[in-house]
Amino acid sequence: MPKYLVKSKVPYTALDNFQKALEDICESIIIFEDDTSPPSTTMDENGFPIASIFQVDMLCSDKEVAICRIHAESAAALLGIDAGVVVEEVENTNWLLACHQGQPEIRIHPFVIHSSVSDTQAKAGEISLKIDAATAFGSGEHPTTQGCLKLFTKIAKKQKFSDVLDMGCGSGILSIAARKLQPTINVVGVDIEEEAVRRTRLNTKINACERNYQVVCSVGFQKPETHKTYDLCFANILAKPLMHLAPAMQKHIKTSGYIVVSGLLDKQAPMVINAYQLCGFIVHDKISIQGWQSIVLQKIHNQ
């Protein structure tokens, strides 16, 4: 049976009411920022500007498409907006498989990152990372992931790690890379999203490194499984959560241990660094890629 998308462009100011008007009408609603629209004057909780226009796509069957279009047009009329409602037929595709097959091969020495369905072969001296990341952040494409991998590779040449924390693990790419480079480490992965936890567990199995690798759904250090000390932590999240975590990191990172942080813009780096300096960390190394900063912080003493 064919599937259809009823597509609308909705101003951010009307987005909540538009979405509520369409709830329970279709199979699912997909909402994302329209990259072509200018930013609004509203900032999200992490200080990033929110787009002024959002794309709202309703996935419908052939029996639902007419009523879905009528509801979208009626909601737009009631809200006094021009949503430009259009209908587009889509192929009945295994979207998850298609995402994995379309995932690009990325080389960040010594790692070659690819999906589990790719026929990519690691060359001599390379380490294969099979990462299926369609439903969780961390495919290797984003500058923050690349920055973290580059910085970790540098410190791993001189330092052996035993206990690693992956805070906001997403797909698990960073800690899986650490585990494949240093196979004896123990890992605790943490994410607030159940789907990320599920995806990380799957990726550890794909990469045959699930042993001594525990993943929990938690906010920060709330779960007992996280209550230990670590000599290395990855925290590729966002600037404000990183700052809020600084005191807890001071408690859970061993003296001389490292945190590889990212998810922050260049202009946000000074305030993140300041938060960690107040908790006994110094900047060991850093890198900027396309305006995104990744930093290695080292704990030098307890405050």
Task: Give pLDDT, residue 99.
Answer: 47
Please tell me whether residues 170 and 273 are part of one structural domain: yes
Residue 84 domain-assigned?
yes
Please tell me whether residues 199 and 291 are part of one structural domain: yes
CATH value at residue 12: 3.30.70.120
Please tell me whether residues 203 and 275 are part of one structural domain: yes
Q: Which of 45, 75, 92 is the last residue of a domain?
A: 92
Please tell me whether residues 172 and 294 are part of one structural domain: yes
Helices (H), 103-192: 143-156, 173-181
Please tell me whether residues 202 and 281 are part of one structural domain: yes
Please tell me whether residues 61 and 158 are part of one structural domain: no
Residue 67 domain-assigned?
yes
DSSP code string of 196-235: HHHHHHHHHHHTT--TTEEEEE-STT-SGGG-S-EEEEEE
Number of domains forming the structure of the chain: 2
Maximal CA-CA distance, the chain? 65
Distance CA 21, CA 74 (A): 9
Distance CA 167, CA 192 (A): 9
Q: Return all residues near 224 (Cβ < 8 A) that are at least 6 apart.
A: none
Residue 173 domain-assigned?
yes
> Tens digits of per-residue pLDDT, 81-110?
999 999 988 765 554 444 445 457 888 999
DSSP code string of 52-103: SEEEEEEEEETTTHHHHHHHHHHHHHHHT-----EEEEE----HHHHHHHHP
Q: Which of 48, 64, 92 is the last residue of a domain?
A: 92
Residue 102 domain-assigned?
no
Please tell me whether residues 67 and 163 are part of one structural domain: no
Please tell me whether residues 190 and 277 are part of one structural domain: yes
Please give the average pLDDT of every successive group of 10 residues along the chain, which has 303 residues. 84 89 75 82 69 87 88 93 89 51 76 79 83 70 92 96 96 95 96 88 92 93 95 94 95 97 92 96 96 96 66
Residue 207 domain-assigned?
yes
> Tens digits of per-residue pLDDT, 143-182?
999 999 999 999 999 999 999 999 999 989 999 999 999 9
**pTM for the whole structure:** 0.69
Residue 131 domain-assigned?
no
Q: Which of 92, 111, 138 is the last residue of a domain?
A: 92
Please tell me whether residues 165 and 280 are part of one structural domain: yes
CATH value at residue 251: 3.40.50.150
> Tens digits of per-residue pLDDT, 34-52?
878 888 888 765 566 788 9
Query: How are beta strands 230-236 and 163-167 bridged, if at all?
Result: parallel
Which residues constitute the domain of residue 294?
A: 152-299
Please tell me whether residues 273 and 184 are part of one structural domain: yes
Please tell me whether residues 214 and 292 are part of one structural domain: yes
Please tell me whether residues 156 and 54 are part of one structural domain: no
